[in-house]
């Protein structure tokens, strides 16, 4: 069973991924947050994020998001020029900024566009392709229609997050919809959605023993050692987990101090590190970490955790 770190825009940048890989580990493959082409341009920040020199020592698959082939082609050029032979296509993003442009989960409502994008991907014979999708935008029939199109193409796997785009993160993942999509697909399937504990991983493995992998996002932000713990078959207690988080924090903070400018930028970056780890730390300290506007105050709060 392969374990994937799901892409999380604003959280799992190259710095986080590298540090996670060194300190917590347990992950087979990381996905980059999606690259996009807005007004014919790709952000330099996103190019730096997938640059191989910034991703040394870990297995990275760059992800792209596009509404159709004209947006997709320049992104694939970039991925190929950076030296990658794999790419992941995002058919799941529910954020209105992307769906409003026909991308992500909205692309699920246009099987013709998915077909054209897959043809463009297939034309690039060096690229191995995977897809990450939701079960639909407004209805699970959309996911099924997409699966039928995808069945005509060669894919490494399809990662399915069984929520509809319009749900965003509300409700529970729909395991029945997942099961139907899995049965309809001729491709290896990866499960994604709401995995937060070793028991959650075990349950998915028990329910769907023929999966090719499990992809975890927010669960790993909250508990960076989750994949390692499951691989080792040894859960860590809160003290051990906090120690791993503090070690990740130390490395992330040192790099943030060296590479980011201004206290506000540094604090904003560090606050995203703690955001999902709220349950692990003292409430008052958490509040202080998230509210402070001074580095000195922030550092004191972190020291009080050790």
Ligand X SMILES: Cc1cc2nc3c(=O)[nH]c(=O)nc-3n(C[C@H](O)[C@H](O)[C@H](O)COP(=O)(O)O)c2cc1C
Residue linked to tokens 């709220």: 278
Token pair in block for residue 249: 């924090």
Residue 255 near residue 43, CB atoms below 8 Å: no
Closest CA to 192 of 34, 16, 48, 8: 8
Q: Is residue 273 part of the contact set for ligand X (CB under 6 A)?
A: no
Q: Is residue 63 part of the contact set for ligand X (CB under 6 A)?
A: yes
SS3 138: coil
First and final CA of the chain: distance in angstroms?
A: 34
SS3 189: strand
Q: Is residue 96 part of the contact set for ligand X (CB under 6 A)?
A: no
Least distance from ligand X to the Cβ atom of residue 303, Å: 28
Residue span 116-145 as binding mask against ligand X, x where in contact by CB under 6 A, dash where not: ----------------x-------------
Residue from 50, 177, 216, 248 touching ligand X (CB under 6 A): that is: 216
Least distance from ligand X to the Cβ atom of residue 294, Å: 26
Residue from 6, 89, 164, 181 touching ligand X (CB under 6 A): that is: 6
Q: Is residue 7 part of the contact set for ligand X (CB under 6 A)?
A: yes
Q: What is the CA radius of gyration of the chain?
A: 19
Least distance from ligand X to the Cβ atom of residue 135, Å: 12
Q: Is residue 162 part of the contact set for ligand X (CB under 6 A)?
A: no
Residue from 26, 62, 217, 224 touching ligand X (CB under 6 A): that is: 217
Q: Is residue 90 part of the contact set for ligand X (CB under 6 A)?
A: yes
Contacts of 69 (CB under 8 A, 6+ apart): 116, 117, 119, 120
Q: What is d(CA 11, CA 253) in angstroms, rounded to the nearest whole number?
A: 14
Q: Is residue 175 part of the contact set for ligand X (CB under 6 A)?
A: no
Of 42 and 243, nearer to ligand X (C-beta) is: 42
Token pair in block for residue 20: 């996670």
Residues that bind ligand X (CB under 6 A): 6-10, 33-34, 63, 90, 92-93, 132, 161, 192-195, 216-219
């Amino acid at each position: 069973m392969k374990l994937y770190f799901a892409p999380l825009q604003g959280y799992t940048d190259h710095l986080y991924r590298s540090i996670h890989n060194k300190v917590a580990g347990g992950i087979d493959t990381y996905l980059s947050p999606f690259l996009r082409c807005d007004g014919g341009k790709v952000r330099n920040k996103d190019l730096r994020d997938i640059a191989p020199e910034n991703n040394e020592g870990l297995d990275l698959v760059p992800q792209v998001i596009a509404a159709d082939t004209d947006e997709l082609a320049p992104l694939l050029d970039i991925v190929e020029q950076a030296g990658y032979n794999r790419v992941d296509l995002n058919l799941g993003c529910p954020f209105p900024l992307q769906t409003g442009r026909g991308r992500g989960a909205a692309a699920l409502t246009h099987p013709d566009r998915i077909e054209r994008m897959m043809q463009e991907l297939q034309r690039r014979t060096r690229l191995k392709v995977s897809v990450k999708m939701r079960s639909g935008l407004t209805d699970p029939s959309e996911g099924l229609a997409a699966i039928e199109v995808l069945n005509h193409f060669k894919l490494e796997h399809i990662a399915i997050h069984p929520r509809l785009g319009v749900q965003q993160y509300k409700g529970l993942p729909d395991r029945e919809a997942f099961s139907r999509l899995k049965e309809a697909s001729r491709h290896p399937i990866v499960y994604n959605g709401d995995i937060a504990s070793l028991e959650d991983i075990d349950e998915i493995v028990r329910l769907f023993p023929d999966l090719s992998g499990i992809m975890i996002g927010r669960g790993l932000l909250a508990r960076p050692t989750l994949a390692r713990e499951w691989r080792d078959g040894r859960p860590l207690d809160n003290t051990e987990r906090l120690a791993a988080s503090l070690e990740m924090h130390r490395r992330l903070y040192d790099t943030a101090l060296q590479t980011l400018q201004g206290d506000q930028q540094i604090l904003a970056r560090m606050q995203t590190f703690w955001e999902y780890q709220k349950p692990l730390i003292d409430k008052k300290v958490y509040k202080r970490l998230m509210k402070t506007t001074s580095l000195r105050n922030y550092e004191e709060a972190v020291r009080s955790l050790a």
